[in-house]
Amino acid sequence: MDTKELLKKVRKIEIKTRRLSNHVFGGEYHSTFKGRGMTFSEVRQYQFGDDIRAIDWNVTARYNSPYVKVFEEERELTLMLMVDISGSEFFGTGTITKREMITEIAATLAFSALQNNDKVGMVLYSGIVELYIPPKKGRSHVLRIIRELLEFKPINLKTNTSEAFAFLSGVLKKSAIVFVLSDFIDQDYEKTLKIVSKKHDLTGIKIYDRLETYLPKMGLIPMIDSEKTGISWIDTDSKFIRESYSLEHTRSSETFHTLFKKNGAGSISCELRESYVKKLLGFFKNRSK
């Protein structure tokens, strides 16, 4: 992809996702993810209905009139995007691939954080941690994140979510909002997920394609595992093979939701033909209740 084409794609993503973050997700993001606490702002004269526990007795005594302390939420937070860019993320049988949808969701979340003056960082991972962008503020920083999401080519095609969680625990010392965007075609990540979820506000977003849920009858066909090399010939007329294929997807999905829920983390599943806007809005609304 040449520079001109890349900039055009970045701009297209920015226009679409920034509009969503400004008009749809901005308020939901703010109400869903609270600040670290309340900080002292100022004192003002007591008004009917004020909590008497907020009275500042020193100022009250000085002016011989009741004054109360005013607090405001300490808003600054850090949003960390953990993005799976392994070989399976390039799959998609509709109009977009999993990686393209992940890019849009990540950009929407990043602009929502930017609107609330929060820092944004990113970890791109496959079987290894491919790239780490430390959290920062600003539009130019968010645009850099989008460029990497669009252009970065992974060295490794496999998936190791556990290693990515372990890396995050090592570099992120303060509590943060963490979104993991992946198809979660992986296993053995519960131990490190548990560690991350204890310290951070963690949510997993599983992106999948409809064709990963069932196998149509098409006779003997060649299939390529996008995270391995070589071709396997599969007899799709076999009922046993079709059922095993569907059961594997069901098992993987159930494992994903169960592990995140068990560890107090949020989870969202979105098929490529579904609206991720509705999915995210539903999640934010439920979280802020």
User: Structure pTM?
Assistant: 0.82
What average pLDDT does the segment 28-57 reach?
A: 74
pLDDT of 198 > 90? The answer is yes
pLDDT at 137: 93
- Which residues are bridge partners to 68 per DSSP? 44, 55
Please answer whether residues 181 and 122 qualify as being in contact, where contact means their C-beta atoms are separated by less than 8 angstroms. Answer: no
pLDDT of 24 > 80? The answer is no
The least confident of 24-33, 39-48, 195-204 is 24-33
Dihedral of alpha carbons 267, 35, 131, 128, sign: negative
Computed over every residue of the chain, the mean pLDDT equals 88
CATH domain 3-31+76-287 topology: Rossmann fold (3.40.50)
What average pLDDT does the segment 190-214 reach?
A: 95
Domain spans of the chain, in order of start: 3-31+76-287, 37-74
35 confidence band (pLDDT: 50, 70, 90) = low
pLDDT of 201 > 90? The answer is yes
The least confident of 67-71, 198-202, 234-238 is 67-71
Pairing state between β 231-235 and 220-224: antiparallel
What average pLDDT does the segment 160-181 reach?
A: 95
How far apart are the C-alpha atoms of 152 and 243, rounded to whole Å?
36
pLDDT at 258: 96
The least confident of 47-51, 77-81, 134-138, 232-236 is 47-51
- Structural tokens at position 267: 């989870």
